[in-house]
Chain A
Amino acid sequence: MNKTVNINLAGMVFHINEDAFEILNNYLNTLKNHFKNEESGDEILKDIEGRIAELFTGRLDKKEAISLTDINEVITIMGDPSQYDDEIEQEQSQEYQHKDEDLRKGKRRKVFRDEEDRMIGGVCSGLANYFDISVFWSRIIFIGMLFLIGPGAPFLYLMFWIALPSAKTTAEKLEMKGEKVNINNIEKNIKDELNIVENKILDFDKKYTKEIFGANSFFRKIVDFCIRVITGIFKFIGSCFGIFCILFGGILLFLIFSFVFSGAEILFQNHPMVEHVYSNFFNNKSATWFSLFIGIPMVAIILFGLRLVNNTKIHMNYKIGIFVLWIISLFFLLNSAKDISIEFQEEAKNTIIENIITESDTLYLSMNDVDRVFDNAFDANGFKVTPFEDNLMGIGMQLDIVKSKNDNFNLIKEVIARGKNKQIAKERTEEVGFEFLLEDDNLIFDDFFTISTQKWRMQELDLTLEIPVGMVIFLDHSLEDLIYDIKNVHNMWDYDMLRHYWKMEKEGLSCISCED
């Protein structure tokens, strides 16, 4: 039993066995290919199909379906294209020989529209062939022109579309991609050109009459044209978006790469914040993953843009590969981020109380007023942190002044730090140091605290000075940045409390030098 296929050959319907159909289809395709560059190739093909239909009819007197034997016999009768002693091949080979010679002589090329590589009408690709540039650039230039001369550009395009013939024959396609302009050939070329113009007028005449009266093809052309214009507009919008994607992705990618390869990454690594806070995050490895993580989407955007502009397609395997790489980079990046968050996991607190022993009943409070240049400082959790000798230096601690529970001046240093575990956090609190100087009745605070490590793990220092009742302090103006929200019986602002004597009463600090 055989499955049959119905075919329509020259307007006649035939039942044909499936295997026979395959052979016939191949044969007709071979012929089609053979005649594709022939001007009336379609017509020749129709004639041949007509003849085949005739041969089939002769064979179907006693049966209903065309068999493989029938096909093979018919093909033997009609012959293989290679047996045709055909003009085309010779013309082509002559043409090729011509081309070889012309190549040596340096013949110039002609402008055609390249319909094989077209977005709308193949104008850009045709011009690109003529000027021997990538079609990509000619499209970019066209879109650029759209911005420069606005609606003039589509009009110009339409003019080119109408004016330029499309490259149909092999010879024309060769000429389109042909060779350079050369003075030697100008005379010959002018003659060629005149011939072409003459032929074109004749052709046009012929086509015109045929197409008007063969109403079908005329209307089809109009419909085709409209469809092409509409799809062209969509493609054009797509192209604009594509170019935007390419530029956007390209610029970002360029920034990433210049960042990674120009050594800017090292600058970044030397940034104190990175060095002291995220040092175990920003190492070479994570920088690579980071650039992959950002870079891959940029590449994807560029490829997407290229596809819109130039219909460049990427093989699925590459897509999957790139995506997997991106997932891997994300994984490692998250892993690095986890490492850093672990570093801050636990918090420890350490309180140190120092007695300040003085004979006097008045203590003059001031701060070492050093004009520091913080060129390498970073802000961390409300403190300014800067490298200092081999350690870190924190600036921005606050001093509160309260009533003492006993008869002594006490300075309470409250230190907080973080670490992987309680133990490490606790050790870190002990690495924090703060100094002050007691000279007679002058108490001079340092303006910074030291962290005897390279790592900033949210070390914080809070100072509280306890004043026994009945004692007096003087707040020097240098304390401006140190004191914070000090309670007093007058509810005065910190800044207004400076340059005054304050006595600790049972109710709290009371100004004894203020006028009111």
Chain B
Amino acid sequence: MKIENTQSQMRKGILEYCILSILKNGEAYPSDIIEKLKKAKMIVVEGTLYPLLTRLKNAGLLQYRWEESSAGPPRKYYSITEKGNTFLLELDSTWKDLAKAVRLTTKTKKDE
């Protein structure tokens, strides 16, 4: 049992939840998403994001369109799909449950 594995597993699910949450407010291209995630200290390196976006897209939770960019190659603008929205709603409630569970369990420990 490695601490890194547990940490990354915890982060992984939450990262997907964050990405979907960011895109809920409207379409964005990866650099935008990266900015937000970096600010929130959810990711350290940008490379993390691309595989995640592709997997979410392959799962039908995200879609994208191409847009020409003046500063470089064409960009992929990602947006959330209907399926993604449903998925996100479920994650929302799961997150609430988890947060509650974590709060309760850690509190109990502290009190003891």
Listed in ascending order, the chain A residues whose CB lies under 8 Å from chain B are 9-12, 31, 35, 38-40, 43-44, 47-48, 50-51, 53-54, 56-58, 76-81, 83-88, 90, 93
Contact = CB atoms under 8 A, between A and B. Distances in A.
A12 B74 CA distance: 10
B86 interface: no
B65 to A, nearest CB: 14
B12 A44 contact: no
B93 interface: no
Nearest to A42: B54
A31 B53 CA distance: 16
Contact of B71 (A39, A58, A80): A58
Given A40-B54, A47-B76, A50-B74, 15 more contacts: A38-B51, A40-B58, A43-B54, A44-B54, A48-B47, A53-B73, A54-B75, A57-B71, A79-B48, A80-B47, A83-B45, A83-B48, A88-B51, A90-B8, A93-B5
A51 B54 contact: no
Nearest to B51: A44
A54 to B, nearest CB: 4
A76 B38 CA distance: 14
Contact of B73 (A12, A44, A58, A78): A12
Given A47-B76, A54-B72, A77 B58 contact: no
A90 B7 CA distance: 12
Contacts of B44: 79, 83
Contacts, number: 85
Most chain A CB within 10 A, of B8, B15, B45, B47, is at: B47
Contacts of A12: 72-73
B94 interface: no
Contacts of A90: 5, 8-9, 12
Nearest to B38: A77
Contact of B47 (A9, A38, A84): A84
Contact of B31 (A31, A43, A51, A84): A51
A54 B47 contact: no
B72 A53 contact: yes
A43 B76 CA distance: 12
Interface string B1-25: 0000100110110010000000000
